Amino acid sequence: MAEIRIRGVAKTFGSFTALHSVDLTIRDREFLVLLGASGCGKTTLLRIVAGLETASAGEVWIGERRVDGLAPRDRGIAMVFQNYAVFPHLTVYENIAFGLRMKKLPQAEIDRRVTRNAELMHIEQLLKRYSGQLSGGQRQRVAVARALAMEPAVILMDEPLSNLDALLRLEMRAELKGVLAGSRTTTIYVTHDQVEAMSLADRIAVMNAGRIVQADDPVQVYRNPAARFVGSFIGNPPMNFLPATPAGPGAWEVAGLRLAGPAGAAGRIEFAIRPEDLAPAPEGLAATVRVVEPLGPHTLVTAEVAGAPFRAVLDSDLRVAPGDRLTLAPAADRIRWFDPETQEALT
Amino acid sequence: MPRLLPYLLLLPATAFLVVFFLYPFLLVAIESVTRQGAWSLANYERMAGHWKFSAAFWNTLLLAGIVVPIQLALALTMASVVTGLKAGRATILYIFAIPLGISDLAAGLVWLAIFEQTGFLNSLLTGFGLVERPVLFLGYQNPWAILLAIVLAEVWRATAIMMVILVAGMGLIPREYGEAAEVFGASRWQRFLRVTLPLLRPSLQTALILRVILAFEVFAVVAALGGTQFPVLMGETYNWQFTLQDRGVAAALAMVILAISIAATLVLLRLLHVPKEART
Amino acid sequence: MTAGSSPAAAPAPAAPAPAADVRRAGRWLFRAGVVFLCAWVLVPIYLLMVNALSAPADVTGFPKRLVPGFDPGSLAFFLRFQGVAEALWNSVQVAAVTMVLSIGIGAPAGYALSRFDFPGKGMFRLLVIMTRAFPLPLLALPLAVLFIRTGLDDSIVGLALVHTTLALPFAVLITFSLFSGIPVELEEAAWTLGCTRLQAVLRVVMPLALPGIAASAVFAFVISWNEVFAAAVLTIQNRTLTAFLLQSLDVSPLPLKFAGGAALVIPALVFIFAVRRYLFAMWGIANR
């Protein structure tokens, strides 16, 4: 059992606060992705769990043990680093065996584990090579094999795919998912790439400015952002936002269009819709097309609604040109509302 | 423990430098202003009153004034050559760097082999019939020849250290800057003057400070080539300490060398100051 | 590199453009310059070697020949000269102690500078860099007195301590750059794989830093081997080779001087050759 509990973990560097009292529980065998822009504190949080960084406050529990205060070696974790950190003075075999030798396992067991994990990562033919003779992708495989060979309760991954080129990243992503599903470890995976996060995660924790804004399964995070930030960060292109003014009980006016919305709110609120949840219709938001980008399966249209930029993903059969006027109707069940003060979602 | 670790690691080096660097300099400073246990400027008076002091002082400055600019030009040339080389770079670099490992005394002896009366220069000159018989270059009759020999030996020996610093510095300048200047139509010489040299300022500063201080410490080269004909400050310090057995005056001389070293460092820091915002 | 191998120049023997002429002339000038600079460095050493490898009679004779007589006479005379063997041995010992001390003290400091941020770091760097603005051999003057009081006068260790002051700043800065060149992640990876801090240093950092550390050790050795002033001030009976040669300059015959010069130069040549790959790593950081 390796449930990870993070309780009130905070970190300050001098006067800069990298983490504000973070609470998060990662269930046993869960694949949790920490997602956020660079500088949001996601790597700091991961390093605190690893023991490479000391928290300024709070507790970290792995299973039934409180581990903050323990050295990394005593936490039962393994880690994959962004730049792989494959030891250049050791062969691939010795790299994978490194942690096992530290544990003083018998040679036969070391052999068994090295071979098995090398096969798992398809690098069994590279065991005698040095890291200087490997490509980036191969080094990445060695780093993963080295972590898996420890048979840890917890694997921590810090942007492991970000140094690979696009095609290789796609391939490794699918492979990692398969391999880690087969192992029975709890995984924390840090990335700034939302597609990576979506495709890998059981649950995504979106971070912003040292706080976890939302932790939920990928579809929920996408469909029901708990905060304006999540909507604007996830999705490519991101959500559209427009100001809304009250128009009677439970009704709001958005750029001249009357829509049903939250009844409990007062004053100005924000209307939000994903670009793909818009369609041309006789009645809708009046938009002036500015840029048209055909993408194949659909066409990305950047328009102007009430003077603000507004994007729509439309069917590619639809012929539009800059300067055209469109009325775009939002799908009623996909409309979300946010409180501009708290930035939180309204229901 | 982790918070104490860096201090623990620095402790030996710090302690060593305090005991063998700061403390001795304090001692020598005190020594220079005391005479038989009492505060006094007698050491300085005695030093300044000695007939060789003025010569030693000006010789040292003159030597540095001649040698350092030549070395700067030569080191820049060598560094540019090395940076511009494609094939054989490592070999040429090694050859250029050889004098780095050669002691000033050995350098003096190397040039003694050339300049002494039965040396190679005289062999060459008589061989070509340019002189009747060997000239005594390093005698008191030829003060300029002594100076020339010392300058050559110093330039030969100590240019390498500047060259290596400058090569390292040039290596830190991204190639793109030069290429960008080339695209905008700068000639090779303009690129050197407008791009390389300004970006090299931190390295130039290091190289010059190091070199000027070493130039003030010139000693063994002079001892090997000039003997007593060409007094310099460091040699006089050695004489007062060793031959004349007057540690007070030796200390005073040491303070003079220290003073001109610090003055030169400050001037160079000022002159080649690189503002923080302009650093890459 | 050469004109013949450049694809543009090879198949065009007929009437080359003037621009190509200028470029070719420039290339020859450049090459002549390189040759001249190499000669400038090498010829004086060669001439010293000619003297060292000739019979004593040739060394004092005139005119000189430009090829050595390959007579071991001068070297044998030098080695058998009263005090030379001891001086050589003293030089080696002092340099060895200097090497061990400066790396032993300097490497931990270099490691601390490269891996930690802590209050006082700037002060320490200042202290190290300050040593560069001071004429260090002068330290020998006050230390001469101090050593007499502590019984370190005229001793190998006493001189080695002064030489360590010379070599230590270099050792600190060189090891600092070496350790900085080894990614922290390698160490962190080792920690997550079950290493203590010390184990990670021994198993991961050291194997990677060792060639560089060896090079900086050689550098420390050369600094001590070449030092003249402090050696001459601090040693009387136990003179090093440099001190011995300096103090016998006025009285020793030419063959002794030149053979002694060669004895000083040859190890330096070997050392510089051994550490040539690291010269720039060392000095590159001296810039900061």
Supply A117's token pair. 């994990």
Q: Do A73 and C192 touch (CB under 8 A)?
A: yes
Does residue C1 fall inside a structural domain? Answer: no
Q: Which residues of B fall within a CB distance of 8 Å from C105?
A: 12-13, 16
* Closest residue by Cα to residue A244 from A268, A263, A275: A268
Q: What is the pLDDT at residue C3?
A: 41
The enclosing domain of A190 has a CATH number of: 3.40.50.300
A130 touches chain C (CB under 8 A): no
Q: What is the pLDDT at residue A229?
A: 94
Q: Which of A38-47, B197-206, B252-261, C2-11 has the lowest mean pLDDT?
A: C2-11
Question: Both A28 and A136 in a single domain?
Answer: yes
Q: What is the pLDDT at residue B279?
A: 60
Q: What is the pLDDT at residue C92?
A: 93
Question: Both C159 and C52 in a single domain?
Answer: no
Is the pLDDT at C201 greater than 70? The verdict is yes
Contacts with B23 (C-beta within 8 Å, 6 or more apart), sequence order? none
C28–chain B nearest CA distance, Å: 13
Rounded distance between C-alpha atoms, residue A340 and residue A317, angstroms: 36
More confident residue, A5 or C271: A5
Round the average pLDDT of chain C to a whole number and report it: 83
Name the stretches of chain A with pLDDT < 70. Answer: 1
Question: Both C90 and C112 in a single domain?
Answer: yes
Q: Which residues of C fall within a CB distance of 8 Å from A117?
A: none
Length of chain B: 280
Q: How many domains does chain C have?
A: 2
* Amino acid at site A179: V
C189 touches chain A (CB under 8 A): yes
C191 touches chain A (CB under 8 A): yes
Q: What is the pLDDT at residue C66?
A: 75
Report, at the CATH architecture level, how domain B55-278 is classified.
Orthogonal Bundle (1.10)
C284 touches chain B (CB under 8 A): yes
Bridge partners, residue A17, by sequence: A12
Neighbours of C197 (CB within 10 A): 16
Question: Both C96 and C237 in a single domain?
Answer: yes
Q: What is the pLDDT at residue C4?
A: 40
CB contacts < 8 A (A, C)? 59
State the residue range of the domain holding C183: 81-286
Q: Do C272 and B16 touch (CB under 8 A)?
A: no
Q: Could you say which of A233, A264, A279 is where a domain stops?
A: A233
Of all residues in chain B, the percent with pLDDT exceeding 90 is 21
Q: Do C242 and B210 touch (CB under 8 A)?
A: no
A62–chain C nearest CA distance, Å: 15
C82 touches chain A (CB under 8 A): no
Question: Both C111 and C158 in a single domain?
Answer: yes
CB environment C10-27: b (16+ within 10 A), e (fewer): eeeeeeeeeeeeeeeeee
The enclosing domain of A254 has a CATH number of: 2.40.50.140
Q: What is the pLDDT at residue C10?
A: 42
C111 touches chain B (CB under 8 A): yes
In this prediction, residue C5 has a pLDDT band, given cuts at 50, 70 and 90, of: very low
Chains that touch B (3 or more CB pairs under 8 A): C
Q: Residue ranges of the domains in chain B?
A: 55-278
Question: Both C47 and C146 in a single domain?
Answer: no
| Residue B265: Cβ-neighbour burial (10 angstroms; 0-12, 13-18, 19+) | buried
A61 touches chain C (CB under 8 A): no
B144–chain C nearest CA distance, Å: 20
A71 touches chain C (CB under 8 A): yes
Question: Both A122 and A141 in a single domain?
Answer: yes
Q: Report pLDDT digits (tens) over C19-48.
A: 778 878 888 888 888 999 999 999 999 988
Side-by-side strand order, sheet with A278-294: A308-315, A298-305, A278-294, A325-330
Question: Both A217 and A268 in a single domain?
Answer: no
Q: Could you say which of C74, C108, C140 is where a domain stops?
A: C74
Q: Could you say which of C10, C44, C74 is where a domain stops?
A: C74
Question: Both A104 and A253 in a single domain?
Answer: no
Q: Do A72 and C191 touch (CB under 8 A)?
A: yes
Q: Do B13 and C105 touch (CB under 8 A)?
A: yes
Supply B117's token pair. 């009366």
Mean pLDDT on B61-83:
92
Q: Do C142 and B251 touch (CB under 8 A)?
A: yes
Q: What is the pLDDT at residue B219?
A: 87
Is the pLDDT at C225 greater than 60? The verdict is yes
Rounded distance between C-alpha atoms, residue A177 and residue A196, angstroms: 10
Question: Both C131 and C70 in a single domain?
Answer: no
Supply C224's token pair. 């001590």
B32 touches chain C (CB under 8 A): no
C220–chain A nearest CA distance, Å: 26
The enclosing domain of C86 has a CATH number of: 1.10.3720.10
**Phi (first) and psi of residue A251, to 5 degrees:** -130, 145
User: What's the first-to-final CA gap in chain C, in angstroms?
Assistant: 34
Question: Both C172 and C88 in a single domain?
Answer: yes
Round the average pLDDT of chain B to a whole number and report it: 86
Considering only the beta carbons, identify the residue of C48, C276, C288 that sits closest to B109: C48
C199 touches chain A (CB under 8 A): yes
Question: Both A27 and A150 in a single domain?
Answer: yes
Q: What is the pLDDT at residue A151?
A: 92
Q: Could you say which of C26, C55, C74 is where a domain stops?
A: C74
State the residue range of the domain holding A310: 240-346
Is the pLDDT at B15 greater than 80? The verdict is yes
Give chain B as a 3 state SS string. Answer: CCCCHHHHHHHHHHHHHHHHHHHHHHHHHHHHCEECCEECCHHHHHHHHCCCHHHHHHHHHHHHHHHHHHHHHHHHHHHHHHHHCCCCHHHHHHHHHHHHHCCHHHHHHHHHHHHCCCCHHHHHHHHCCCCCCCCCCCCCCCHHHHHHHHHHHHHHHHHHHHHHHHHHHHHHCCHHHHHHHHHCCCCHHHHHHHHHHHHCHHHHHHHHHHHHHHHHCCCHHHHHHCCCCCCCHHHHHHHHHHHCCCHHHHHHHHHHHHHHHHHHHHHHHHHCCCCHHHCC
Question: Both A227 and A281 in a single domain?
Answer: no
Q: What is the pLDDT at residue C283?
A: 60
Q: Report pLDDT digits (tens) over C233-243.
A: 888 888 998 98
Question: Both A98 and A189 in a single domain?
Answer: yes
The torsion region of residue A69 among left (phi > 0), alpha (psi -120 to 50) and beta comes to left
Q: Could you say which of A175, A208, A233 is where a domain stops?
A: A233
Question: Both C111 and C230 in a single domain?
Answer: yes
Mean pLDDT on B60-67:
93
Q: What is the pLDDT at residue C15?
A: 52
Question: Both A9 and A112 in a single domain?
Answer: yes
Question: Both A177 and A96 in a single domain?
Answer: yes
Question: Both C147 and C64 in a single domain?
Answer: no
C234 touches chain B (CB under 8 A): no
Q: Do C194 and A50 touch (CB under 8 A)?
A: no
A140–chain C nearest CA distance, Å: 13
Q: What share of chain A is helix, strand, coil (3-state, %, to 5)?
A: 30, 35, 35
Is the pLDDT at C11 greater than 60? The verdict is no
Q: Do C195 and A79 touch (CB under 8 A)?
A: no
Q: How many domains does chain A have?
A: 2
Q: What is the pLDDT at residue C16?
A: 53
Q: Report pLDDT digits (tens) over C133-149.
A: 677 888 888 888 888 88
Mean pLDDT on B223-240:
86
Q: Could you say which of A214, A233, A252 is where a domain stops?
A: A233
Highest mean pLDDT among A272-276, B170-174, B199-203: A272-276
Question: Both C49 and C101 in a single domain?
Answer: no
Q: What is the pLDDT at residue B74?
A: 94
Question: Both C193 and C223 in a single domain?
Answer: yes
In this prediction, residue C216 has a pLDDT band, given cuts at 50, 70 and 90, of: confident
Rounded distance between C-alpha atoms, residue B45 and residue B56, angstroms: 15
C249–chain A nearest CA distance, Å: 50
Is the pLDDT at B92 greater than 50? The verdict is yes
User: What's the first-to-final CA gap in chain A, in angstroms?
Assistant: 37
Question: Both C173 and C250 in a single domain?
Answer: yes
